[in-house]
A and B are shown apart, each in its own frame.
Chain A
């Protein structure tokens, strides 16, 4: 039984342009699933749809999102918000903008525990200190009292990771959590996320465009193109040889860790044309079916 179960999810803009095309996706408890695609493939959109933070212009137009067997779309907005707040957390992309500049760090870790989950303030603060130690922050009591601008980007991402794990969520959505950081910090943060995920047994939906990162953290992976699932498989099978031509081209376009300077083949035009034709055929098929 998977913890997150997305079925036939359609998301489109107000003018009808589709962003997600009947996406189905499962994340089992404790599983790490990578969500891969080029920019604009809609991979972040899936996480946003689950979290209820789609941009104002985008709307869910079909399908279901089930969390622990409960259909989120049938809940009232308030109940949905609180369910997400209690069970799901986000590790955002850019640590420099994801912390509120006018508030101290401590309350930004404890606020969900106190305000949404009803913890006592002292308990929440003890928990925050413990988490800051877990993410290897020195002098956590001092960091709790600091303002975000006093800390480095890597520090801030550690704090956001600690904050994400604070309420022991069942699922964490990490939206390209290392792209905004420089390379040396990237590796540490990636290691930290894996370490925390394993320690807490949290399911992780890891959104990235970087197949190199995927091989280091995920057990299974979903490839997206133009908002449509192209391939869904486990990691070993994928790196042994993807079944879809687009996935193969994507893998060929990724630098190898064994040979980082080796020559790369960009995704060939013929493959792009084939996958575009596939999308067009899918859209034509959608037109025929009765809208649910």
Chain B
């Protein structure tokens, strides 16, 4: 029993390093994509279509991970795709977090009418399938990077609002918040200085989770051809293409899918690791 607990305590460190390392690698790849990409991600070469990766028969060493049906280099497209994925992750994740957490904090701390309206909104939002909601929004406001980010924020703010509202309510009921109010600080001051630091570990974990989800939503939108635009390389777009030619060219699906797997996994594990690292109770 004692050794088992020791193992669990050692785990967050490994988890944090592995996931953080992968994400750091990804950030570097995204920043230096123009320098390290062996090819132009958009350059088509119909004579070099569906070349397998180098270790397979009939490959071309110039195309490390092979080419898609239009002869575009899979590796270069993945590197450029990382840029878009990370932009969506950071911008959409942060905006969703800010808006959702603020609404949750307002509802959980001020209660009353604010809570009634926000809770009802959350209920209504929960009545829609999120993917369908996102697709519908994109269809209405048009495709493009901004639209994708707006769609993610609109469908996912409830994730933060729900959790932060519940946390703020339970924290608000605790003695130290009451004593801060007795000490003469205003309600908003109390919310900011007493409640926020205590819900912060949860928010941080949710934020990194949301970044992974944002990438997935973008991939799903790309998959149904409603994301940024067809001439920008995205992981989701590559996956959609790979799905269509799965029997002829498995590598077009496998490499971006594997990257997506690792990235989403890293975001969620990184968040969990951070939460355990910063949460005074868990630590």
Residues of A bordering B, CB below 8 Å: 14-15, 56-57
Contact = CB atoms under 8 A, between A and B. Distances in A.
B14 interface: no
6 contacts: A14-B1, A14-B2, A15-B2, A56-B1, A57-B1, A57-B2
The DSSP consensus for interface residues of chain A is loop
A16 to B, nearest CB: 11
**Leading 6 A-B pairs by shortest Cβ distance:** A57-B1, A56-B1, A14-B2, A14-B1, A15-B2, A57-B2
Nearest to A57: B1
Interface string B1-21: 110000000000000000000
Contacts of A57: 1-2
Contacts of B2: 14-15, 57
Nearest to A14: B2
B8 to A, nearest CB: 15
A14 B6 CA distance: 14
A59 B216 CA distance: 50
Contacts of A56: 1
A57 B1 CA distance: 6
A14 B1 CA distance: 8
B4 to A, nearest CB: 10
A56 B1 CA distance: 7
Nearest to B3: A14
Interface in B1-50: 1-2
A57 B3 CA distance: 11
A159 B1 CA distance: 34
A14 B5 CA distance: 13
B7 to A, nearest CB: 14
A19 to B, nearest CB: 15
B76 to A, nearest CB: 55
Contacts of A14: 1-2
Nearest to A15: B2
Nearest to B4: A56
Interface in B115-139: none
Interface string B151-173: 00000000000000000000000
Contacts of B1: 14, 56-57
A15 B3 CA distance: 10
Interface string B63-102: 0000000000000000000000000000000000000000
Nearest to A55: B1
A56 B2 CA distance: 10
Contacts of A15: 2
A24 to B, nearest CB: 29
B197 to A, nearest CB: 36
A57 B2 CA distance: 8
Interface string B220-236: 00000000000000000
Interface in B191-218: none
B27 to A, nearest CB: 44
A281 to B, nearest CB: 29
A209 B1 CA distance: 30
Interface string B231-260: 000000000000000000000000000000
Nearest to A56: B1
B111 to A, nearest CB: 33
B117 to A, nearest CB: 39
A218 B223 CA distance: 79
B60 to A, nearest CB: 60
A59 to B, nearest CB: 11
A134 to B, nearest CB: 41
A56 B5 CA distance: 13
Nearest to B2: A14
B249 to A, nearest CB: 54
B95 to A, nearest CB: 46
B169 to A, nearest CB: 28
A14 B2 CA distance: 8
A57 B4 CA distance: 11
A14 B4 CA distance: 12
A261 B1 CA distance: 46
A263 to B, nearest CB: 41
A15 B2 CA distance: 9
B130 to A, nearest CB: 36
Nearest to A13: B2
B96 to A, nearest CB: 41
A15 B6 CA distance: 14
A7 to B, nearest CB: 28
B214 to A, nearest CB: 42
